[in-house]
Structure 1
Amino acid sequence: MTKPVIGVCEVNTNLQDALESVGKTKSNNSDEGWGWVVTFGGFTISWIMSIAMVSFGVVYSTFLQDIRTSGTLSAWIYTIAMVNANIVGYMFGPLVDELGWRTVAFVSGLLYAAGFIMSAFSTTAWFLLFSFSFVTGSSIRILLDSATLVITHYFTSWRTLAISIALSGIGVGQMVMAPVITMLLEEYGFRGATLILGGIALNCCVAAMVFHPVEWHRKNSHTIITGDSKKEETTVITTKRGEESCLRRILRIALTNMKMFKSSSVSIVASKMALSVSVFFNVFTTVPFAMQQEGFGARESSFCILVAGGCNLGARVLTAFLSCCPKLRVRIVFTCGVFLAAIALIGFNVAENLIGKCTALGLIGASYGMTASLYSLLIIDELGLHMLSSVLSINSLLTGIYILIIGPLVGMIRDLSGSYVASLYFCVVVFLLCGVHGLLIPAAFVMDQHRDTAHHQKASHHQHTEHMAVQDILQHPQQTTSGDPYQQRIRQ
């Protein structure tokens, strides 16, 4: 597929193309060896990262009830954590470009563990808002994206399988950690269980240490780039690095990424993924309350969530093997998964017994696993590997914004209608909108191609005009106006 030319990347286009060509020539040794060690490290980070989602419903909810925290404040603690995770995740691309995968993942692991350890000493909900929502929350998305990005650079033929294996850790964590956390809570209480979870979270730092630069494990890495273009680009980048501090470079890259919204294809791909994540988040937080309103107990709700987690894991594994087929289009599978979630959510609202509710939630969990395992692959397939970190940053920012918008809307609809069913039907509409959103990707590529063609034609016309003006001045120097600054610049 022809990839669009995106204006903000024009400065480093030659260097990126050269690096991509090098990766293709060395693909014969990039699907083996250390890449699978990196995949195991990504799997470890994924299942440890899921502790934040599982622990809030089990550990922190009990603590908040004991100190008689209002339901509104309790809901905002988790919502702010997810919003903060995605907004801070916007800095993922610039941080990785400047510091590397291993450093970013290691520091994020420290923050993730520090949030749990600090929460063990909390006495109020406001302190938990700081320790969980801001300290722990700020590292969740960066940790997950770090594991995903490094794996994509280690594989070519088995890239889809490796990413799916790493991301399947989320489903494993949701299934395994719920009973483990319950056992820790019964044995050691809130503070002891939270401290142990902080110790488990420190293993993210251990897993991050295997995220070596790809060049360390590639043969003949000394013949990376040849030609004058490499020398020129390297000189420009080295000069910029020498003139700017680390913080200024990170901020410059972050601001530059914002300009990528000018590309229709980037905006639609990032927005499609962000919209799906935000609506899945609201569905899974609303479903337990909807079941309790219909007369189901907490045990039945927990069982349905457990089934959804199992189907989530199964869908990730199945998608991993199916996506290895070269004829499979990631965009089509992703869109089908979103439409499946909309149909299953309608079935959940219509079902009246536990079996029907459980089956519908299982399908929703499967659709979430199907789409979540394809985020990075969708970016690579539609926009190219060199766009992965930047688009993930934009997607993270949009996800935080969408959660902040859709969450209050879901609550407002529930308050106005008096029923969680109306809120879930609103989520169905958003799912359908997300599916239709994906159908616009081919049109976005056409728009980008027309824009790039017009841009190149305008640039060529400008160059031709200047060339003709220079030739005219050189051929008729006596007609040159000495006071004309444009003609003086051409003469120089």
Structure 2
Amino acid sequence: MDFSNAKGRAKPLPTAKPLPTDASFKFTETQIAGIGHVNSFGLIYRDFMIHTQSTTKSLTTANGVFAIMLAIGGIILNIITKKLTLRQCGLIGSCIFSTGSFLTILISNTNHLPFTFGVLQGIGFGILVPVCYSTLNLLFTTKRTTVMSIIKSLQGIILMWYPQVIKQTLSVYGFRGTLLIIFGISLHTFPGMLLMKTENKDTGKRLRTAKNIEIETDKQIKLELLNNDEQKQQILSDNGTEYKTSKKNRCQYLYYQRKFMRITNLTFHFLEVLNLRCLKDPVYCNICVGQSFMNFSDLTFFILQPMLLFQYGYDKAQVATCITIGTGADVAGRLALAMISGATHINTRLLYYVATLLTLVVRLVLLQIHEFIWVAAITAVLGILRAWIHIASPLVISNHVTHEDFAGAYALFMLAAGVVNLTCSPFIGMIKDSYEDYVPAFYALSASCLPCLIMWPIELVSRRK
């Protein structure tokens, strides 16, 4: 199965001086300080949910809101980068994210999470992520799969110990103390953004700006008025009637033309920000749909997995161990992919598809077993597959669109993923609350892999005809 698309592949950029150590460290620092604790949500909030009698729906809703705000953060970044540098935009994202992390300490039940975690941390992290990806996309024009694998491996090595640290901090400092420590970690996004190396590209070849359009439209209006007046005078003079243009009518005409022009400019600006012209590409749309549902399934699955393990009767130590094993396998998968991609070319879209297919099969196996040793082994396999999916996801998009369109295309994908998360996440919580069992909810999450598995082969067949 070959998903390659040479037509849409990004063109090589002029050689830039890569700074792999610097870029890798700052990218890793930002990602860990951002949402490194998400996989431990079950450990952090389980006792708090029981104490406050909160429902699972509020937790999944917070996850859905986070996803849509992640996309909105990317759109905001696309707007403010016209006035500010990437570094300045990243600092704004750090401020918003840290504010949300601090307010999470003050929550009285999980119903507040959709705002503190979903809205504030979602927008903040939505600004931070494209800054990191855009920087890497600029620095590395080749071997992006290898670079991304190495960076994600560094990130995973540190995140591997997160569940164990969370377990210890909960036992020593309690729930609020743990959230305070997480807030302190989130402050590391500031040095991550301050030291991020960016490059301002020449924007001389950009599309026309709204201001330029306004000037051009104004000229066209005046020209149309002149032509209309000349035509009217010619017609009336032929009939022997003297014609004089009414100043009042001309002003009214100009007023309505300017009003229409402003609406047109706003529409053009909106389309430019979202890069909606990508939606004309059916292949890109298919990529977005498949990855959006898989993104929702993956994120919600690993957030709720600790809850499933608690339902199996595991204690906190066993749950933390399973999460650690999964994260360790994630690191191993990233390192393995880095070595493989360094030796041979990898079709990232085919990699994403195969990893998604295997993920569906392995998840179904996980729901049939309860023994700790087997659950730990299956979790390790899921960790490896998750690593491949996470690395391939942005690369599938960057390999299909040009470098100039990547930021807008990725923001549009994040928006699509956010809509899917916001729409589907509450239903997962409702399924669990209705059956009072996590297993049906996990079957629903596994079914979310199907859009990618079904629609991508259909696209391949239709393209070959």
TM-score bracket for this pair, using the shorter chain length: 0.7 to 0.9
Across the aligned residues of Structure 1 and Structure 2, the Cα RMSD in angstroms comes to 3.5
CA distance in 2, matches of 1:114, 1:403: 23
CA distance in 2, matches of 1:377, 1:327: 13
Q: Deviations over 1:140-181 (max 9, x none)?
A: 233223212210110123322222233335534532233333
Counterpart selection for 1:280 from 287, 291, 298:
298
Equivalent residue for 1:132? 117
Equivalent residue for 1:260? 278
Alpha-carbon shift at residue 63 of structure 1 (Å): 4.2
- The question of whether the paired residues in 1 share the 8 Å contact of 2:40 and 2:303 is answered with no
Equivalent residue for 1:375? 393
- The question of whether the paired residues in 2 share the 8 Å contact of 1:94 and 1:251 is answered with no
Equivalent residue for 1:389? 407
Equivalent residue for 2:104? 119
The alpha-carbon distance between structure 1 residues 49 and 401, as it changes in their structure 2 partners (threshold 3 A), is same
Q: Share of identical aligned residues, percent?
A: 17
Q: Deviations over 1:361-407 (max 9, x none)?
A: 22112111111011221112222323321221111111112223333
CA distance in 2, matches of 1:370, 1:439: 19
Equivalent residue for 2:156? 171
Equivalent residue for 1:81? 66
Equivalent residue for 1:198? 183
Q: Deviations over 1:314-346 (max 9, x none)?
A: 212222222234532111111111011011112
Counterpart selection for 2:439 from 405, 418, 421:
421
Question: Bigger CA drift: 434-443 or 257-266?
Answer: 434-443
Aligned pairs for 1:247-396 within 5 A: 252-253=270-271, 256-396=274-414
SS of 2:29's partner is: helix
Equivalent residue for 1:149? 134
Q: Deviations over 1:112-158 (max 9, x none)?
A: 11212223334455555432232122222332232122101101233
CA distance in 1, matches of 2:109, 2:422: 24
Counterpart selection for 2:449 from 431, 437, 441:
431
The alpha-carbon distance between structure 1 residues 103 and 194, as it changes in their structure 2 partners (threshold 3 A), is same
CA distance in 1, matches of 2:31, 2:154: 5
In structure 1, the gaps of 5 or more residues are 6-16, 217-223, 225-229, 448-492
With a CA cutoff of 8 Å and minimum separation of 6, indicate the structure with the bigger relative contact order.
Answer: 2
- The question of whether the paired residues in 2 share the 8 Å contact of 1:152 and 1:163 is answered with no
Q: Deviations over 1:245-275 (max 9, x none)?
A: xx97996256652342222011111222212
Letter of the aligned partner of 2:148 in structure 1?
A: I
The alpha-carbon distance between structure 1 residues 75 and 427, as it changes in their structure 2 partners (threshold 3 A), is closer
- The question of whether the paired residues in 1 share the 8 Å contact of 2:60 and 2:429 is answered with no
How many residue pairs are counted as aligned between the two chains? 413
CA distance in 1, matches of 2:69, 2:277: 22
- The question of whether the paired residues in 2 share the 8 Å contact of 1:92 and 1:389 is answered with no
SS of 1:328's partner is: coil
Aligned pairs for 1:53-132 within 5 A: 53-54=38-39, 56-96=41-81, 99-123=84-108, 125-132=110-117
Aligned pairs for 1:407-418 within 5 A: 407-414=425-432
Question: Bigger CA drift: 42-51 or 189-198?
Answer: 189-198
CA distance in 2, matches of 1:420, 1:127: 23
Q: Deviations over 1:434-475 (max 9, x none)?
A: 22333345467679xxxxxxxxxxxxxxxxxxxxxxxxxxxx
The alpha-carbon distance between structure 1 residues 101 and 169, as it changes in their structure 2 partners (threshold 3 A), is farther
CA distance in 2, matches of 1:99, 1:242: 23
CA distance in 2, matches of 1:332, 1:151: 22
CA distance in 2, matches of 1:295, 1:72: 22
CA distance in 1, matches of 2:102, 2:332: 32
Letter of the aligned partner of 1:403 in structure 2?
A: N
CA distance in 2, matches of 1:290, 1:423: 10
Query: Normalized against structure 1, the TM-score is what?
Result: 0.73
CA distance in 2, matches of 1:40, 1:242: 44
CA distance in 2, matches of 1:353, 1:373: 30
Aligned pairs for 1:203-222 within 5 A: 203-214=188-199
Counterpart selection for 2:6 from 2, 8, 13:
2
CA distance in 2, matches of 1:79, 1:236: 36
CA distance in 2, matches of 1:210, 1:241: 37
Equivalent residue for 1:404? 422
SS of 2:439's partner is: helix
SS of 1:410's partner is: helix
- The question of whether the paired residues in 2 share the 8 Å contact of 1:109 and 1:143 is answered with yes
SS of 1:374's partner is: helix
The alpha-carbon distance between structure 1 residues 70 and 428, as it changes in their structure 2 partners (threshold 3 A), is closer
